[in-house]
Amino acid sequence: EVRLVESGGAVIQPGGSLRLSCEGSGFTFGDYTMHWVRQAPGKGLEWVSLINWDAVKTYYADSVKGRFTTSRDNNKNSLFLQMNSLRTEDTALYYCVKDRRELYYGSGSSFNVWGQGTLVTVSS
Amino acid sequence: SYVLTQPPSVSVPPGNTARLTCGGDNIEDKTVHWYQQRPGQAPVLVIYSDTDRPSGIPERFSGSNSGNTATLTISRVEAGDEADYYCQVWDPTTDPRDPHVLFGGGTKLTVL
């Protein structure tokens, strides 16, 4: 079974830092671009970042650029999101997401496996 | 920057056809993907690359993309189809060196 499990969500004060993790199983993790997508309470989906299969390329939404960093360890089938200078508007459920096509990112990028999400609450 | 526009809500009786739209400037030039999100659950990919259905998704779900509108069509709607539906595209137009992934705002499908 293909599976993604996120962890690391917490309640954190504005200005603080947090590191999310995601462990994949049931597929060759190192062959796929991975993404983070978030969803604020009662709101829609917002793409956060992507990292390609060998970690050479990373891209970020404008709302998190310069504050968030995504990385991966293919030896441990793991994806990470380092979040710094957190703001109240970063409060959301953060999903780890797998790209459908192997060794690819681009217009055909769709997300065929989602974790259950980890909740980040930024509040004083 | 590129914008995807979805109606906030659509309501249909069971057994009817639901047509959920996703509007964007010349969206036919882009590849559109669709997700279903039931309450309290993670999203599920229901259509990729405009018209293709992942394994396990019923044939009742179909997609099209023409002009400025992409459409997710759900035939013979069932109570279990009640969910939020999101369209998604890849957007390199703002800066090709810094592409983004965009989601529409989502449509809540209510089965009356």
- Our CA-based measurement puts residue B18 at a distance from the nearest CA of chain A, in whole angstroms, of 20
Binning pLDDT at 50, 70 and 90, where does residue B92 land?
A: low
Residues of A in contact with B104 (CB under 8 A): 44
Residues of B in contact with A38 (CB under 8 A): none
DSSP calls for chain B: ----B--SEEEE-TTS-EEEEEE-TTGGGS--EEEEE-TTS--EEEEBTTTB--TTS-TTEEEEEETTEEEEEESS--GGG-EEEEEEEEE-SS-TTS-EEEE---EEEEE-
pLDDT the model gives residue B95: 74
Q: Which of B46, B84, B101 to mutate to test the interface with A (most CBs of A within 10 A)?
A: B101
Predicted confidence (pLDDT) at residue B10 exceeds the cutoff of 80 = yes
Tens-place pLDDT, residues B33-55: 999 999 999 999 999 999 999 99
Predicted confidence (pLDDT) at residue A16 exceeds the cutoff of 80 = yes
pLDDT the model gives residue A93: 98
Cβ–Cβ gap B100/A61 under 8 Å: yes
Cα nearest neighbour of A44 on chain B: B105
Residue B46 contacts residue B72 (beta carbons within 8 Å): yes
Cβ–Cβ gap A111/B45 under 8 Å: yes
What's the first-to-final CA gap in chain A, in angstroms?
A: 40
Residue A7 contacts residue A20 (beta carbons within 8 Å): yes
What mean pLDDT comes out for the span B20-34? 96
Predicted confidence (pLDDT) at residue B93 exceeds the cutoff of 70 = no
The percentage of residues in chain B with a pLDDT greater than 70, rounded to a whole number, is 97
Predicted confidence (pLDDT) at residue A10 exceeds the cutoff of 80 = yes
B22 touches A at CB < 8 Å: no
How many A-B residue pairs are in contact by the CB < 8 A criterion?
A: 64
What mean pLDDT, rounded, does chain A reach?
97
Distance, CA of B92 to CA of A106 (rounded, Å): 9
Decide the pairing of beta strands B69-74 and B18-23: antiparallel
Distance, CA of A11 to CA of A103 (rounded, Å): 35
Distance, CA of B37 to CA of A95 (rounded, Å): 13
Tens-place pLDDT, residues A22-52: 999 999 999 999 999 999 999 999 999 999 9
What mean pLDDT comes out for the span B73-81? 97
Cα nearest neighbour of A113 on chain B: B44
Least confident of A50-54, A79-83, A99-103, B95-99: B95-99
Residues of B in contact with A5 (CB under 8 A): none
Distance, CA of B110 to CA of B10 (rounded, Å): 6
Report the DSSP beta bridge partners of residue A80: A21, A71
Cβ–Cβ gap A114/B44 under 8 Å: yes
What mean pLDDT comes out for the span B24-31? 94
Give the residue among B87, B77, B71, B73 at the shortest CA–CA distance from B110: B77
What mean pLDDT, rounded, does chain B reach?
95
The beta strands (E) that lie in chain A are given as 3-7, 11-12, 18-25, 32-39, 45-51, 58-60, 68-73, 78-83, 92-102, 111-114, 118-122
pLDDT the model gives residue B96: 72
Handedness of CA A111, B23, B72, B53 (dihedral sign): negative
Nearest to A114 among B31, B43, B98 (CB): B43
Predicted confidence (pLDDT) at residue B94 exceeds the cutoff of 80 = no
Residues of A in contact with B31 (CB under 8 A): 107-108
Handedness of CA B29, A45, A114, A49 (dihedral sign): positive
B39 touches A at CB < 8 Å: no
Binning pLDDT at 50, 70 and 90, where does residue A63 land?
A: very high
Residues 67-86 of B with CB under 8 A from A: 84, 86
CA distances from A68 to B12, B69, B78 (A): 41, 33, 41
Predicted confidence (pLDDT) at residue A107 exceeds the cutoff of 90 = no
